[in-house]
Amino acid sequence: MPAALKFGFTPFARPRGVLVVFCDENLKFGPATQRILAPAGDLVRRAATADRFIGKQGTSLDIVAPSGLNLPRLVVLGVGKESELKSHDIVKLGGIAMGKLPAPAATATIFAEFASGPLKADQVADMALGARLRAYTFDLYKTKRKDDDARPDRIEVNFACSGANAVEKAWVKSSAIADSVAFARDLVNEPANVLYPGEFARRASSLSKLGINVEVLDVPAMRKLGMGALLGVGQGSAHDSRLVVMRWNGGKRGVDPVAFIGKGVCFDTGGISIKPAQGMEDMKGDMAGAACVVGLMRALAARKAKVNAVGAIGLVENMPDGKAQRPGDIVKTMSGQTIEIVNTDAEGRLVLADVLHYVNKRFKPKFMINLATLTGAIIVALGQEYAGMFSNDDKLAERLAKCGETIGERVWRMPLGPEYDKMIDSKFADMKNTGGRWGGAITAAQLLQRFVGKTPWVHLDIAGTAMGSPQTDTNQSWSSGWGVRLLDHLIEEYYER
């Protein structure tokens, strides 16, 4: 049972419930915190000595029923060197604070103050964002509560801060982002019997209530456009494919939009080139790129971003069936180029080939960024810490890399080049859909590049970062919602002027 989470922002005053406070590496507290802790005398200092707590960033000291304070529990969180804190460190501290709340706690107060004094409004909002991301759970399908699950139905977290009005305002933006990350995570966590292309399209359509224009193209519409590659992937499924186009026009009229394209393979069995059984259940998350695009569009609309943005997602299910496509089949893409299918499990690039071309032709975007759980090879190359980044545009790639460092969703640039491109030339068609075992993430990117023309473009291979990722201070769920914050930040930093 998910607990309802309520946040409040109030001035520094007597705390209620579990109290979380912050100190630096000299065990120094801010003035409001000192005042609140005064009745406890030297309790914190003695506990710190006993526990060898020295205030290092991310470490904590737990004191149950602290004498003199009339609180169930006091949690002291170390922030390390305050001057070195980046925005993402504060998001992480919020996540750590949330993770420190003991199971039965229904009420907590977080004193949003470091040794030098109260946090700025943006910093409090960052901290609350981290707490919200940390608290995310997906237990929609758990009908029984475990005996040892002592969590209350409702948790109230109060951030004591200064300038509560400014904080409330900053929180409008950050909570829009938090909700949108959660929206993306939900989509990825949903099983494929629930979230097939039609249902995914319906959920994306719900964004229209935020002012997003949503169009859903069905199979006949896509056939008319000549999207043979996308349709070939979906033809073995009982669930029809969809293409969803979302538009948010918060910028000046007539200004070219920025565009985001997502791989939405609602389930990837591999098709006739079927995958082994072990771990195949994870392929319900093969639509994480599409989920990120939907989450991003939701965030832009919810915080009324001053930008014109297009989001387009290709939704298919890759199944083996009497009607499924075969290895050796040749499909014609909307761009006119033909592709020989040598492995039906290399399906994501086929879907993206048509959607990239469609978006480029219809919207003439400033740039296109696509996200896809495209290859196992990128996980071999980079593990789960960085997403693979491929680009034909140094400026856009550098901007993304910088944003990634700032907000903690990092990207590592990978090479492209004619030598790799050659590897997907085909005996029978313009290209084939795999280039063999070596450099598998790169040859996949080369295929995509054949469909973007001269438009500045980035491909993010998120197979390692979007799902099954290690639990972090800001995510305990199987899916991470990777990319929503990264791309939202990119737009805020560079494209809202």
Active site residues: 275, 349
The one among 236, 348, 365, 388 contacting ligand BES by CB under 6 A: 348
The one among 341, 377, 452, 487 contacting ligand BES by CB under 6 A: 377
| Residues 241-270 as x/- pattern, contact with Mn ion by CB under 5 A | ---------------------------x--
Q: How far is the CB of 63 from Mn ion (least distance, A)?
A: 51
The footprint of ligand BES on this chain (CB under 6 A) covers a number of residues equal to 14
* DSSP notation for 172-198: HHHHHHHHHHHHHHHHHHS-TTTS-HH
- Reduced to 3 states, what is the DSSP secondary structure of residue 337? coil
* DSSP notation for 338-386: EEE-S-TT--HHHHHHHHHHHHHHHH--S-EEEEE---SHHHHHHTTTE
Q: How far is the CB of 318 from ligand BES (least distance, A)?
A: 7
Under the binding rule (CB under 5 A), the answer on residue 286 touching Zn ion is yes
Q: How many residues would you count in the chain?
A: 497
Q: Edge to edge, what strands does the sheet with 431-432 contain? A: 330-332, 338-340, 431-432
Under the binding rule (CB under 6 A), the answer on residue 463 touching ligand BES is yes
- CB-wise, 251 or 439, nearer to ligand BES? 439
Could you tell me the end-to-end alpha-carbon distance of the chain, in angstroms, rounded to an integer? 43
- CB-wise, 30 or 348, nearer to Mn ion? 348
Under the binding rule (CB under 6 A), the answer on residue 440 touching ligand BES is yes
> Residue with the closest Cβ to Zn ion?
268
| Residues 323-362 as x/- pattern, contact with Mn ion by CB under 5 A | ----------------------x-x---------------
- CB-wise, 157 or 287, nearer to ligand BES? 287
Please, which residues have CB within 8 angstroms of residue 473's CB and are 6 or more apart in sequence?
58, 92, 95, 96, 99, 130, 134
**Crossing angle of helices 87-99 and 394-407, rounded to 10°:** 40
Under the binding rule (CB under 6 A), the answer on residue 383 touching ligand BES is no
* Tokens standing for residue 157: 């977290």
- CB-wise, 240 or 345, nearer to Zn ion? 345
Contact present, 338 and 354 (Cβ < 8 Å) = no
* Tokens standing for residue 485: 């914050």
Residues near Zn ion, by CB under 5 A: 265, 268, 286, 348
Residues near Mn ion, by CB under 5 A: 268, 345, 347
Residues near ligand BES, by CB under 6 A: 268, 286, 343, 345-348, 373, 375-377, 434, 440, 463
